[in-house]
Structure 1
Amino acid sequence: MKGTIGFIVPTDEMRSFVRQTLVDHEDVTVRVGIITDAHRLAQELVADGAQVIIARAETARALKDLRQLVPVVEVPITLSDLVQAVTAVKPYGAKIAVVCFPDMAYDLDWLGQILDVSFRKYLITTVADVESAMDSARLAGCDSVIGGGVTVRCATARHFRASVIPMGKDAVLLAARQALQIKTAIDAATERNTVITTLLEQAYEGILTIDAAGIVQTFNPTAEKLTKIPRSRALGARIADLWPELELEAALTNGPQRVDQLVVLPDAQLVCNKAPIVVDRRVLGAVATFQEARRIEKMEAAIRQKVHARGHVAKFRFADIVGQSPAIREAIGTAKDYADSRFSVLIQGETGTGKEVFAQSIHNHASRSDGPFVAINCAALPGQILESELFGYVGGAFTGASREGKPGLFEVAHNGTVFLDEIGEMDYANQGRLLRFLQERTVRRLGSDRNIPVDVRIIAATNKDLQALVEQKAFREDLFFRLNVLSLTLPPLRDRADDIERFVEQFLLRYSAENGKSVVFERKALSRLKDAPWRGNVRELEHFVARIVITAKTQRIGVGQVAAALAPGRPDLAAQERINAVRRALAEARGKHAEAAAILGVDRSTLWRWLKRHPVV
């Protein structure tokens, strides 16, 4: 197993000692070599996977120039190690030369008093200083020398008694613990760097960083692709020379973050975000991220499609509109003419005439039919809530606001249509906000200072006379003119009586199926329906048919049942309608009650009760 920690010792004996001491550390590889072998051994260990090197003082210092490649941990000299070396040479004389590096911090005078010896300390910074130290020790009359492996070799050659300061167990364990801590930190940093590198390499955004001098430090593949600047040329270049249009060095002044800045290149338009890199209030550099404007537009389109899939969709088309009367065909023709225009449409008509059906049909007939269709009833929400629904808000904009904020319906409807139903009920303040949107085509969320451009088509609807409201100062005149560019008035049901029978057939099929019945209207009953005023228009007719089907006791519905059901909330009118129906039935049956009851669709007892309550002859 290749070790992730390398340990260099000068002798085989020390190798055995280190292996025995670190027997539980399988990730430590021990190599033997003197200081002149240090570089070669260290490079071999690194090639075999070593992340940290442990070595004695001289060897560790010899590897100083490799510290950029691999961390080097120096085995400390403990007091116990020093005492052991002194004990080995003390029999040869009490005057001992200690050759060491300047950072050995022990008080030798104090130690000499305890051990009854006299120390002379010779400080060295390189191996070449050892020879000079030996000469000085000789002149000083030293009896012996203690130090590292190179020192002992040199001293022995000069006929000194010498002893290597040994590596004790505590020193070896201490160095190993330090090396393991460094290795753990390296592993964590490597993992972080791998994550960051992967993010940079795989990011869809171009990412560029510079240091405080404006030199490019990071330039990911997407940056290379978008700018068409080779990565090899970018790294190490000055950003002002490489890409002056970016003006990234301005961020080094610790200026505010710049968001959504448009940078135009010969082959592309990029949307850039720029910010300083600040650590402990010091600007260490700056970062820029950028995307192609075209890609942002595509992402927005994809988001709109997801919103579209969540229910903001127009279901009705012109083919779904019931009727062949001239009035409704004319309205459909006008609406089709309006469909592809970018101008606002104002649909006016009584309650129940199908204003939203026409709005959805206009949207589906237009070029923006793939976009969302977002409808809101202006009468259903108080003013402040209506404002937040239309324009959105940022997190914490008001009490009860979502922490994440919320896009408004204008944003949601981007590239689509917003249908403002009952526009005449909108409060005056929101009328002003809507007017500003129609003028600027941007929205600003509540609590934000940022304007967001959106592309939506406005279709508004009302059952009120907006011109009268303008005269009453209840509706803004300038907003009315903005909305009323294309005007569409829907005919009431009483003006398209020929279509009533088609509606009735449609409603009968639906509600008969829902209620498990098979109900039909007699011809005279249908004729009677055509004469009714239908103040609620198609909606009232639909509810009327539903009520008839639900309460029907017979399969066929006669004119008498229709007359009775036409005005359940107006008894006098209902009674008169019933009397008129009975008169017509009796006349047709030449006074025969059984035939008249059949004509009315009721039994004879029911007819008898009606005649008793309201005599008609």
Structure 2
Amino acid sequence: TGFDVDECAGHGAAHLTAGGAGDAAATYPEVDEFVRTFSLAIPAYTYLTEDDAAARVKALKQEGVQVVVGPGLVTDLADKIGLIGVFLYSGNSVRGALEDVIEAARLRRIESGRRDYVNTILAHLNEGVAAVDAEGRIQTYNPAMERFLGTPPAAALGRKLQTLAPALSLDGVMHSGSKELEAIHKLGDKMVVVNRIPIITEAGTAGAVLTLQDANAIHRVDRNLRSRSRARPAGVRYSLDDLAGASPAMHHLRELARRYA
């Protein structure tokens, strides 16, 4: 506030703000106007990096300055070396902060929409799907997986998969980085086909995905496909060209057959 600046003026103050590349005077216009209006002797400085700010604050202390007015970085540096730091922000910094908040909210809405989209797809799969983070804690768990394991999503999310279903642990693939596909496993009274797939990013292993399929359902599909294959109609075994004989009468017969076929 103006009161803060006026108080600082009585204690030998300096105004220090961040500048941009090629910005010769990036001090707060509001402070400059206040200083001119009340004819206050408050020198203003700018800095480009944290090291610049630290060097300037030390120099101000050596010059006898007792109070430094500026943004959070400056006030923290001033406090560390025994000066009084007065936090100050401009309209531009407030607008910038609001824009950052709005952008973050927009990105969160987009991410939430994507998550809802993926969850809707997972909810309609007959295949059980669970995904864990790098610590092995369940982050995704669809209704089909609940039918396999008997644990509802609310009770499964956040828990370690190994404690929920030790035989289905994903620790092995997360350590090896290799997939384990189409393993047969007995789960209760069911035989299931198990797939374990690590999630690998540029930063390393970020987690893993577990999928379960009912082996009986796969067998039924296979049996259905085989029965359809056997039900195919037989093709024609012979053609007109297979008729024996080269006499004019046989030639005329072939022509008549082709004409009326």
Q: TM-score range by the shorter chain?
A: 0.5 to 0.7
1:256 Cα deviation from its structure 2 partner: 2.1
Of residues 187, 209, 216, the one that matches 1:265 is 187
What is the Cα deviation at residue 94 of structure 1? 2.3
Q: Is the 8 A contact 1:108 1:119 kept in 2?
A: no
Residue 547 (structure 1) aligned with residue 250 (structure 2): yes
Does structure 1 conserve the Cα–Cα contact (< 8 Å) formed by 2:71 and 2:87? no
Q: Which residue is 2:163 aligned to?
A: 241
Residues 300, 235 of structure 1: alpha-carbon distance in 2 compared, 3 angstrom cutoff: same
Note the 1:89-168 alignment, pairs <5 A: 89=35, 91=38, 93-94=40-41, 120-121=67-68, 147-148=87-88, 166-168=90-92
Contact 2:69 2:87 in 1 (8 A): no
Gaps spanning 5+ residues in structure 2: where?
2-16, 20-24, 45-49, 257-261
| Aligned residue pairs, count | 214
- Structure 2 CA distance for partners of 1:106 and 1:550, relative to 1, 3 Å: same
Structure 1 residues 235 and 121: CA distance shift in structure 2, 3 A: same
Where does 1:553-572 land on structure 2 (aligned, <5 Å)? none
Give ranges in structure 1 of 5+ residues lacking alignment. 1-9, 11-75, 98-102, 138-144, 149-164, 317-353, 358-510, 512-538, 554-617
Aligned counterpart, 2:149: 227
Structure 1 position 283, deviation (Å): 1.6
State the one-letter code of the partner of 1:120. Answer: V
For the pair shown, the structure with the greater C-alpha radius of gyration is: 1
Query: Percent sequence identity over matched residues?
Result: 20
Secondary structure (helix, strand or coil) at the match of 1:210 reads strand
Change (3 A) 1:166 1:208: closer
The corresponding residue for 2:30 is 84
| Bigger relative contact order, structure 1 or 2 (CA pairs below 8 A, ≥6 apart) | 2
In the TM superposition, residue 194 of structure 1 has moved relative to its aligned partner by: 2.4
What's the TM-score once normalised by structure 1's chain length?
0.29
Deviation at 1:122, TM superposition (A): 6.7
- 1:1-400 equivalent positions in 2, closer than 5 A: 80=26, 82-89=28-35, 91=38, 93-94=40-41, 120-121=67-68, 147-148=87-88, 166-168=90-92, 171=93, 174-175=96-97, 177-179=99-101, 181-280=103-202, 282-304=204-226, 313-315=232-234
Q: Residue 238 of structure 1 aligns to which amino acid in structure 2?
A: K
Asked whether the 8 Å contact 1:260–1:273 carries over to 2, the reply is yes
Change (3 A) 1:542 1:199: farther
Give me the TM-score of the superposition, normalised by structure 2: 0.60
8 A contact 1:96–1:120 mirrored in 2: no
Query: What are the residue-to-residue correspondences of 1:490-569 with 2, within 5 Å?
Result: 547=250, 550=253
User: Which AA in structure 2 matches 1:285?
Assistant: G
Quote how far apart the aligned CAs of 1:223 are: 0.4
Describe the SS at the equivalent of 2:210.
strand
Q: How far, CA to CA, are the matches of 1:552 and 1:261 in structure 2?
A: 62
What is the rounded CA distance, in whole Å, between the counterparts of 2:67 and 2:138 in structure 1?
54
The one-letter code matched in structure 2 to 1:211 is D
Rate the CA distance shift 1:197–1:543 in 2: closer, same or farther, 3 A.
farther
- Aligned-pair Cα RMSD in Å: 4.7
Q: In 2, are the aligned partners of 1:81 and 1:167 still within 8 Å (CA)?
A: no
Matched residue SS, 1:222:
helix
Q: 1:280 offset after TM fit, Å?
A: 1.7
Q: CA deviation at 1:293?
A: 0.8
Distance in 1 between residues matched to 2:90 and 2:71, nearest whole Å = 19
* Aligned match of 1:429: none
| Structure-2 separation of matches of 1:258 and 1:220 | 20
In 1: Cα distance, 2:190 partner to 2:170 partner: 18
| Aligned-pair CA distance for 1:180 | 5.2
Q: Is the 8 A contact 1:270 1:292 kept in 2?
A: yes
Is contact 1:77-1:167 (8 Å) kept? no
Q: 1:174/1:212 Cα in 2 relative to 1: closer, same or farther (>3 Å)?
A: closer
Letter in 1 for 2:112: T
Distance (whole Å) between structure 2 residues aligned to residue 543 and residue 245 of structure 1: 75
- Offset of residue 124 of structure 1: 9.5
Inter-CA distance 190–303: structure 2 relative to 1 (3 Å threshold):
farther
